[in-house]
Amino acid sequence: MKIQIVTLFPEILEGFFENSIMKRAVQSGSVEYEFVNFRSFATDKHQSCDDVPYGGGAGMVIKCDPLCKALDSIKAKEKRVVYASPSGKRLSQAYAEELSKEDELVFICGHYEGIDQRVIDLYVDDEISIGDYVISSGEVSTLVIIDAVYRLIDGVISSDSLSEESFHGGLLEYPQYTRPETYCSKDVPDVLLSGHHAKIGQWRLQKRLEKTLLNRPDLLETASLDVNSRKILNALKEHSAKGTGDDGCN
């Protein structure tokens, strides 16, 4: 996948593409990226890219001209264009999976009070919200979307890892443990040390259902549950008890 990001602050983005799993994805050729700084397309002496909003009000709005010229320079109208905005549709795992199938994606990073609506009307295919809150940096929200998308590209992360993550099948992920077996007087559950794969699988399923019931019961309304899963869920609902919490290390 080729990712092009149209931004005023490429330096905010650089570290993400140069580290960890994304770095490996770039090195393997699974991901190609380009930053397009639309300030370089501004034509006035100060290379200004924002102006006061028509109709009055606080803040500044990103202007059409430099941003549209930047988008035209990469032929954005021939590609799928994403704009991170609190006014957009909510980002979901299903949405990320859909975007991961694209060969090319263009991301617009907004700032201040946002971008001129005419840019959205002319170029944007997907206006996406990362949640019901507002942040100041379009680069940060754009990276959230990219992170949710690129890891789903074939070969970036193993299919086994993806199949057990939160939201796969409509459930949250089960708890994870690693060495040592005891820490702060808390032990790894015995079943995970048993080597009995069937029992481990059943325990993990139960924990996924427990966590989803506790933290995101709304997901259970559309989750893909088989007969065994529904039996466990019904038992959990009937015998639900409050968690004990984590005392931490003292």
Instruction: From first to last of the 250 residues of the chain, give the pLDDT tens digit.
Output: 999 999 999 999 999 999 999 999 999 999 999 999 999 999 999 999 999 999 999 999 999 999 999 999 999 999 999 999 999 999 999 999 999 999 999 999 999 999 999 999 999 999 999 999 999 999 999 999 999 999 999 999 988 777 767 787 889 999 999 999 999 999 999 999 999 999 999 999 999 999 999 999 999 999 999 999 999 999 999 987 555 555 555 5
Give the pLDDT of residue 159.
80
| pLDDT tens per residue across span 108-149 | 999 999 999 999 999 999 999 999 999 999 999 999 999 999
Handedness of CA 214, 215, 221, 222 (dihedral sign): negative
* 36, 81 contact by CB (below 8 A): no
Residue in 209, 234, 236, 235 with CA at minimum distance from that of residue 223: 209
Query: Which amino acid makes up residue 33?
Result: Y
Report pLDDT for 169: 82
pLDDT (0 to 100) of residue 160? 76
pTM: 0.88
* Predicted local confidence at residue 168, as pLDDT: 75
pLDDT tens digits for 210-225? 999 999 999 999 999 9
What number of other Cβ atoms are within 10 A of residue 233's Cβ? 20
First-last CA distance in the chain? 47
**Per-residue model confidence (pLDDT) at position 246:** 53
* Residue 161 confidence (pLDDT): 77
